[in-house]
Amino acid sequence: MLIVQKYGGTSVGSVERIEAVADRVARTIKAGHSCAVVVSAMGHTTDELVTLAKAITRDADPREMDALLSTGEQVSASLLAMALQTRGLQARSFTGWQAGIFTEPVHGNARLLHIDSDALNRVIGQGIVPVITGFQGISGDRVTTLGRGGSDTSAVAVAAALEADLCEIYTDVKGVYTTDPRVVKAARKLETISYDEMLELATLGAQVLHPRAVENAKQFGVRLVVRSSFHDEEGTVVMEATSGFELREAVTGIAFEREVARVAVVGVPLQRHGLATVFKRLASDGVNVDVIVQSVVGTDVVDVSFTVKEEDADRTVRIVRELQPELSFHDIVCETGLGKVSIVGAGMISNPGVAAQMFEVMAGADIPIAMVSTSEIKVSCIVQADAVERAVKELHAAFLE
C-alpha cells in the first residue's frame, strides 16, 4: 500500500529526531509499503525566521516573507533525505514547486488549487522515497505559504493526489484526545473520530490537526491516522462516520480557546443593510468573525455582537468605526479577556437536551455565559478567559468520565 507520512516540527526538531524519523520510514518500506513523506520545519525554525525578518523591518514584503519562511522546510526535507540514504534507501527532497503543488496567488495563507503529481508518481514508481516540504507551494513564479499548520494540509493534499491508501500525521501526542490532557488528566485517547467531529474540534481550538487538512480529507476521502512519532502505539483514525445502527455518546470531545474578544455594535439601522455592510467589510479585510448574536431592539434598528480573536480586536473596532458615518449606528463596544468552550459530538443529533445539560453544568460551577453558538454537533459558550479551564474540567467530568 502507498502511505503518506507527515512529520511535524517537534518530530524533526533535532538531528536525533530526524534519525528516528528515518528509522520509522525505513521500517515502513521494509514492511513492503511505498512511502512519501511530508515534513515541517525543525522545531521553532519558522518563529526564528519571523524574528529575523522583524529585526530588518516591521513591514516586510509578503513575497519575501514567503521566500524566507519556505526555507525552514527545505532544511528538514534535505536532512531527512540524507538520513534515508545512509540507511540504503533511495530518497530525494522536493520543494513545493518541484512536487507540483500549486496555490492561489496569496502570500502567507494561500489555499491549494491542485497538485501535478506526475513527478512524485514517477519517483515512487522507481522505488525512490520523495521527501516533500510542507506548508508551501507555488503560484506563477512566486513561492507561497499555506499559513500555520499548513504542512497538515500539504500532506492530505499529496495523499489525495497520489490516491494513497493512508495518510499518517505524526506529532508529539499519541492521538486525538477527548480534550487537552494537559488541562484534564483524565482525558482519554479516541480510537476513531469522524471527519465532521474532527473538523469542529480543529476549528474550535483543538490544535492536533489543521482545519483545512480535515476539510480536504473529508472532501477526498483520505483516511487519516494521528499518532505520535515518539511512541509505537496506535493513534486515532479520522474517517467517515460509520453507517448503520450504532449507539453513540452525545459528546465526543471538548475544545477550547483563550484570547477571544466580543465586539458589540449598538443601534444598527435595518434599512441601510447595516449588518451586510459590516460583515462584508470585515471579511474583505481578513477579519475572521466567529459567534454572532443579533438582538432586535426596535422596528428599525438591531444590536449585533460577535467574537473575534483578541489580536484582531483593535483592528476590528477601527474598521467598524470607519463605517459609522455611513451606517449611523449608535456605538461600538469591545470586551477582551474572554474565551470559548465547546462540546462536540455527532451523538448530539439523537440526544436531545445536551445543550441544557451543558448550561446546567456551567451554572452549577458558577460560570456566567456571555454568548452561545450551536450547530447539529456542537455547542459553544463564550465565558471569561480565567474560567475556561474550570469549565473544561467540569464539562469533561459531566460528559466524558
Average pLDDT, integer, range 214-234: 92
Task: Give 269-286 as a 3 state SS string.
Answer: ECCCCHHHHHHHHHHHCC
Average pLDDT, integer, range 146-167: 94
| Confidence band, pLDDT 50/70/90 cuts, at residue 272 | low
Q: What pLDDT shows up at residue 225?
A: 96
More confident residue, 149 or 305: 305
Beta bridge partners of 378: 344, 375
Other beta carbons within 10 angstroms of residue 261's beta carbon come to 21
The residue among 224, 36, 24 whose CA lies nearest residue 134 is: 36
| Confidence band, pLDDT 50/70/90 cuts, at residue 247 | low
The residue among 339, 387, 386 whose CA lies nearest residue 362 is: 387
| Confidence band, pLDDT 50/70/90 cuts, at residue 242 | low
User: Reduced to 3 states, what is the DSSP secondary structure of residue 94?
Assistant: strand
Tens digits of residue pLDDT in 181-197:
999 999 999 999 999 99
Tell me the DSSP string of 172-199. SSSS-BSS-TTT-TT--B-SEEEHHHHH
CA dist 57 and 52 (Å) reads 9
More confident residue, 247 or 86: 86
Please name the residue ranges forming H helices in 11-70. 15-30, 45-56, 62-69
| Confidence band, pLDDT 50/70/90 cuts, at residue 244 | very low
- Compute the mean pLDDT over every residue in the chain, rounded to the nearest whole number: 92
Tens digits of residue pLDDT in 274-292:
888 899 999 988 898 999 9
User: Reduced to 3 states, what is the DSSP secondary structure of residue 235?
Assistant: coil
What is the architecture of the domain spanning 253-399? Answer: 2-Layer Sandwich (3.30)
CA angle (286, 113, 6) in 5-degree steps: 95
21 neighbors 80 (Cβ within 8 angstroms) = yes
Q: What are phi and psi of 139, to 5 degrees?
A: -135, 110
Tens digits of residue pLDDT in 26-59:
999 999 999 999 999 999 999 999 999 999 999 9
| Confidence band, pLDDT 50/70/90 cuts, at residue 245 | very low
pTM of the model: 0.86
Q: What pLDDT shows up at residue 294?
A: 87
36 neighbors 158 (Cβ within 8 angstroms) = yes
195 neighbors 218 (Cβ within 8 angstroms) = yes
Other beta carbons within 10 angstroms of residue 300's beta carbon come to 12
Q: What pLDDT shows up at residue 240?
A: 84
CA dist 11 and 6 (Å) reads 9
Q: What fold characterizes domain 2-239?
A: Carbamate kinase (3.40.1160)
* CA distances (Å), origin 327, targets 39, 292, 299, 330, 331: 48, 19, 16, 9, 11
**Dihedral of alpha carbons 57, 63, 64, 70, sign:** positive
Q: What are phi and psi of 345, to 5 degrees?
A: 180, 130
- Reported in sequence order, the residue ranges of 210-329 that DSSP labels E, i.e. its strands, are 224-228, 236-239, 253-269, 292-296, 301-309
Domain boundaries, the chain: 2-239, 253-399
Q: What pLDDT shows up at residue 401?
A: 84
253 neighbors 396 (Cβ within 8 angstroms) = no
108 neighbors 148 (Cβ within 8 angstroms) = no
The answer, yes or no, to whether residue 326 has pLDDT greater than 50, is yes
Q: What pLDDT shows up at residue 246?
A: 53
Q: What are phi and psi of 97, to 5 degrees?
A: -70, -35
